[in-house]
Each structure stands twice: as C-alpha cells, then as structure tokens.
Structure 1
C-alpha cells in the first residue's frame, strides 16, 4: 500500500508539470522535487523510482476520473446519454489541464514495455464502463445485439484517445470539448448514407 498524504499529491502534480514541460526522459527526480517543494529524498518515501511515479500519476488521475464517472453514469438512463457524458467528461478533464494532456497522450506512449503493461491495467476499469454502457444499449435495443463489445469498446476508446492526441499535437488550438458532440454522433449513428 502506497504512502499517501498532502506531499504525495504535491509530488504527483509536480510530476505532471515537469514531465509535460521537459519530456519523461529529461524529467529528473530533482526537478520534480523542486517543483513539489520537497527534498529529493522525499520522492523516494512515496515512490520506488521515476517509472513508479509515472504509473502512480496515471493511476491517480485516471482513477479519480473513473470513480467520478461511475457515480455520474448511474444518474443517467439512456445508453446514448451515458456515452456522450463519458466522451464529454474525458475531453473536459484533459482540456482543463494542458500538462496532463501532454503527459497522457505523448509521454506515456514513449514508456517501456513494463510501463505500457501497467498503463493497460489502469485502463481496464475504463473499458468495463464502456462494456456496461454497450450492454445496456443492447438490452434496450439501441445497439445491435450482434456487435462485439470488446471491439466496439476499443473503437470508442481509440476514437476518443486519437481526438485528444491530435488536439495536443496541434497545440490545443481549438475547442476539444466542442468535439464531443460530433464524435458521439459519429459513434452512435456511424457514417451510413441515406438511400435515395
């Protein structure tokens, strides 16, 4: 069990800033400690190493988001509205923190195999949320009973993720949250043309 407390959160927030501004490989522990206002050695009271800090950062931020979504999605009845809320909230989370967006979309991708496996573990509850939303759609007959839930979840997550990555690569020059509605509609209704 990880040691928690105000310094833990300070270090996590400092790591987001330092990694976003310097890149993961150039983000020295000493820079993170300075940004957090703690001694270098304090970092190691909470984290085994820089890799552990990166994983913990992602677990913390994604974990908070998933818990929030689990609560908010219970209040919504329709599958379509649930999916829209999830997409919109994902975009809002990253739109309000330029640094977090850079870390999740660019820096986490450069990590080694062990880190990537840990990141996949962190994302499992997100995919479970998508599975549940799609199952509800199948039960309500708003989603085809023939769809492969795992494949559909990967497609939805991939679309959301790629939209955010493009926004980051383009230096956040446009309104990310405004893309939630058109992306949601494309995912729900597809690109099927009306027959004339």
Structure 2
C-alpha cells in the first residue's frame, strides 16, 4: 500500500513539473512576442521593460525570471531567427550539392526567412548602435551554429577547389555583411518588387564573387 502511494506521488510530482515547464515555455514566448510587437512600434531605444510587460500582461518581476534585460530579450529574438534559418537549411541540404548550389540555397533561404521577419530586419538596421548591435551579437561567427556551419562549408569548398584560397571565417564575415546590406536595402527602402530584385541580384553577385569558374 505504501509503495502504491509513493508511486502515485512520484507520478503527480512528474506531471506537475511537466505542466510547469510547459507553462514557463508559453510565458517566455508570450513575453518575446510582446517585446517584438513593442520594438516594432517604438524602436529599440524608446522601448522599456515596462512597455514589454504591459503588452504581455505580466508583472515586471516575471520578465526578469526569463530575461536579464531588454538586450537579452532582443538577442533571443535574433537567435530564434538564426535557429529557423538553420532548421530550414538542414532540412533542405543534400550531401552531393556543389558549393554553388549550397550558396544559392543559403541566400534564398536567408531572404525568405528575412521576408517573414521583416520587423526584426528593420530593428537590426534602424539605430545601428543599439538594437542592431545587440542582435548581431547573437548572430556573430564565434559561437553561432549557423555561422560555424557556413565556415565549414567554405572550408570544404576551398579543399575541393570550388572557391579561391582564403580565410573561411573572414569570407563568412564578409558574406554576412554583404547580405546584411542587401537586407537593409530591401526592408528599409524597398517595396515587395524591390525585395525580389535585390534578392536575385545579391544571389548572382555572391555566386560570381565566391564560386571559382
């Protein structure tokens, strides 16, 4: 009898922990969604944690259970976008793809994800010294899985003779800046038709710049 009670108690505790974890995940996303909405409306510099919690409908203390600061929340938004990029590319990658095919896939996927996250693209490029820097800290080469996979892609291409000899990390940083400039042009200054033209032009420029003919 005592064993049955103990087993039931363990089961209840496990179910409670599962519900708490699910609830915490939902609350965290609720705060991030609110932050994204307020940031898109007010911009990084004008947005406060108070604005975010008001939009989320939670107490200010609740925000700090999940994020250390506004900067921390913004960096997490950047990481989520890069995570989406990584998931899509992983699903679409082929082991027999050439370097050119891989580059084109990365660029097309990048512009698709950017189009679906235009508010974060604008946030990255308006107020360059504030929001943009915070998001770019989340997508730098050193510890970002997507950027590290790009470095590995360039390194393999160099070994196969599909691109010129270079420092692969430098090449990825330069590519990142080139594409960042194109996204800035598309989402700050262009319309839908401009965005399509910019994406196609950027793809050809990058391929001609990095693929050895």
- Greater C-alpha Rg: 2
Q: Which has the higher contact order (CA 8 A, sep 6+)?
A: 1
1:123: how far off?
A: 6.5
Matched, 1:148 2:144: no
Per-residue CA deviations over 1:21-71 (Å, capped at 9, x if unaligned) read: 111121122222233343333212211221221222222222332243234
Report the counterpart of residue 186 of structure 2 in structure 1.
167
CA distance in 1, matches of 2:128, 2:142: 12
Aligned pair in 2 of structure 1 residues 141, 121: CA closer, same or farther (>3 Å)?
closer
Counterpart Cα distance in 2 of 1:58 and 1:83: 22
What are the Cα deviations for residues 138-161 of structure 1, in whole angstroms up to 9, with x where unaligned?
2332212x2232222122111111
1:124 aligns with 2:144: yes
Q: Normalization by structure 1: what TM-score?
A: 0.78
Superposition TM-score, scaled by structure 2 size: 0.73
Where does structure 1 lack aligned partners over 5 or more consecutive residues? 192-196
Q: Mark the CA change 1:167 to 1:89 in structure 2 (over 3 Å): closer, same or farther.
A: same
Q: How does 1:20-169 map to 2 (within 5 A)?
A: 20-74=40-94, 77-107=97-127, 109-111=129-131, 117=137, 120=140, 124-144=144-164, 146-169=165-188
User: What's the C-alpha RMSD, in Å, of the aligned pairs?
Assistant: 3.0
The alignment covers a number of residue pairs equal to: 188
1:194 aligns with none
What is the alpha-carbon distance in structure 2 between the residues aligned to residue 106 and residue 167 of structure 1?
Answer: 13
Displacement of 1:80 in angstroms is: 0.8
CA contact (8 A) 1:14 1:32 kept: yes
- Larger proportion of helix: 2
Native 8 Å contact 1:21 1:99 kept in 2: no
